[in-house]
Amino acid sequence: MAGAALAAPFLPAVALAEVELLIEFRPGLSPLSLGLAEGDGVRLRRFSPGELSDPIASGRIQSRLMLAEGVVAVGPEAGLWAARELEGVHIHFSGGVSRVSGAALKARGWTGELAVSASAFLDLATTQRWKRIGVLYTSGFEGVLPEIRAAGSARGLAVEAREVAVRQDIPAAAQSMARESDAIWLLGDPVLTTGPGFDYLIGLSLSRRLPLLVPEPDLIKRGGYAAWEPDWEVVASSAAALGKRVRGGLGWPRARVALGGDAGRLVINEVLRRRWADVPTGGSR
C-alpha cells in the first residue's frame, strides 16, 4: 500500500461516486432521452448485446461501476451481470430481478423492481374467469404479496401464496396449489424459473391445463402461459429518475422488491390459448 500512497498525489482523481445506469444499447437511448443532464450525478453506461460476456469489456465496466454510489441495472442481462460481478455497491434491479437469488437480495440489501404488471395478470384472470390464483414465491419476494392480494381482492379473486425455499419443495407445493388454483403465478428467483424446478412446473401445467404466469416473455417459448413485456423505455426513464432521486439524497427504495408499472403489454402463449380454448383450464378440474 506504500506504493499507492506515493503514487496517488501524481495521478488524476477518480470520479466522485455517482449512480450508474447500466442498460443495453438501444437506438435513441441517450442521457437526453432519459432526461439526464450533467451535474445530475447519474451516468448512463450502455453496453452492446453480448458485451458483458466479453471479459475485457466486463472488467472495464466492472472497475468503473465498483466506484459508484450505486448501480441501477436495467433489464435481465444487466441485472444478472451486476449481481454476479459487483461487490460492495448497492444494486437496484429495474426489471430482471427474477434472475437474482432472493437470498442474495436479502443478504446484500439490494432492491429491485419486477417490471411486471399485477393489474394485467389479474385482469387476464378475470377475463378467463379464473377465481383462484396461486402464487408460488421464493424468499425475498414476499414483500409484493400484500399488493397482489389487495388487487386480487378488488377484482373478486382469491390469491393464495406458498413459499418455496429450495427446489425440492416445488413438487409438493405445486401439486397442492394445482388442486386449489385456476392458475399459478411464479413470483421468484431462478429456483422457480430455471432448471428442473421450472421443467417440473411446465410439465404440471401442461398435464393439468393449469396456466403458468411467468416473470419473463422468454419463458413463454418454454411453455409459460402469459408474461408481461414491459416498455423498456419507460423502465429506463423510471430508472434514471430513481438515480436522480438517490443523488438528491432521497435514498434507495425501502421495499426490497416492487412490482412495476403498467406500461407494456401482456404476452400470451397463443398455442396454449388455442389448444385450451374449448376446454376450461385450471388444475382443480
Binding site for another protein (CB under 8 A): 1-5, 7-8, 11-15, 27, 48-49, 53-56, 58-60, 62-64, 66-67
- Dig out the grid coordinates for 206 from the structure: 401442461
Least Å distance between CB 203 and another protein? Answer: 15
In angstroms, give the least distance from the CB of 23 to another protein. Answer: 16
Under DSSP, the state recorded for 268 is: E
Dihedrals phi, psi of 193, to nearest 5 degrees: -110, 5
Give the shortest CB-277-to-another protein separation in angstroms. 28
CB of 93 to another protein, least distance (A): 18
Q: Shortest gap between Cβ of 51 and another protein (angstroms)? A: 10
Specify the residue, 12 or 249, whose C-beta has the smaller distance to another protein: 12
Report the first-to-last Cα separation within the chain, whole angstroms: 69
Can you read off the three cell numbers belonging to residue 66? 465498483
Please say which residue, 62 or 119, places its beta carbon nearer to another protein.
62
Q: Are 186 and 216 in contact (CB under 8 A)?
A: no
Residue 133's DSSP bridge partners are 159, 183
**Distance, CA of 98 to CA of 177 (rounded, Å):** 21
Which residue, 39 or 49, is less far from another protein as judged by CB? 49
- Closest separation in Å from C-beta 137 to another protein: 24
CB-nearer residue toward another protein: 1 or 279: 1
Q: Rounded distance, CA 31 to CA 44, Å?
A: 6
State CA 257 to chain mean position distance.
9
Nearer to another protein, 58 or 139 (CB): 58
Q: Identify which of residues 66 and 206 has a Cβ nearer to another protein in the complex.
A: 66
Rg (CA), the chain: 21
Among residues 199, 187, 198, 192, which one has the least CA distance to residue 228? 187
